């Protein structure tokens, strides 16, 4: 029967340590991918909400206005410094 060879203690520890780090990194990548998927779904939902609100605001104020997001002021779009009619 052939003699079984073994790694030195420090070689085995280094190999096991690297393997643990590799497995941990793969797990983190999976978690990040799940987080990414969840964020993409959240963005998709927000886009739908923006589109619905935009449609509602166009009905209320027309499609040729600009809304100041800080003040809420609604102004007619300007072309070359003049109000678009």
Pairing of strands 82-83, 78-79: antiparallel
The verdict on residue 1 lying in a domain is: no
- Binning pLDDT at 50, 70 and 90, where does residue 85 land? low
Number of domains in the chain: 1
The verdict on residue 3 lying in a domain is: no
Domain that holds residue 40: 9-83
Joined together, the tokens standing for residue 19 give: 């393997």
| Rg, Å, the chain Cα set | 30
Q: Model pTM greater than 0.85?
A: no
Q: 15 vs 1, which has greater pLDDT?
A: 15
Which residues on neighbouring strands pair with residue 38, listed in sequence order?
A: none
- Residue 2 DSSP class: P
The verdict on residue 68 lying in a domain is: yes
20: three-class secondary structure by DSSP: helix
Give per-residue pLDDT as tens, 18-77. 999 999 999 999 999 999 999 999 999 999 999 999 999 999 999 999 999 999 999 998
The verdict on residue 65 lying in a domain is: yes
């Amino acid at each position: 029967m052939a003699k079984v060879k073994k790694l030195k203690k420090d070689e085995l520890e280094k190999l096991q340590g690297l393997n643990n780090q590799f497995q941990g990194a793969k797990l983190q990548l999976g978690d990040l991918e799940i987080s990414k998927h969840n964020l993409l779904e959240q963005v998709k939902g927000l886009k739908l909400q923006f589109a619905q609100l935009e449609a509602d605001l166009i009905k209320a104020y027309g499609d040729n206005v600009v809304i100041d997001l800080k003040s809420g002021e609604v102004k007619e779009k300007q072309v070359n410094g003049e109000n678009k009619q």
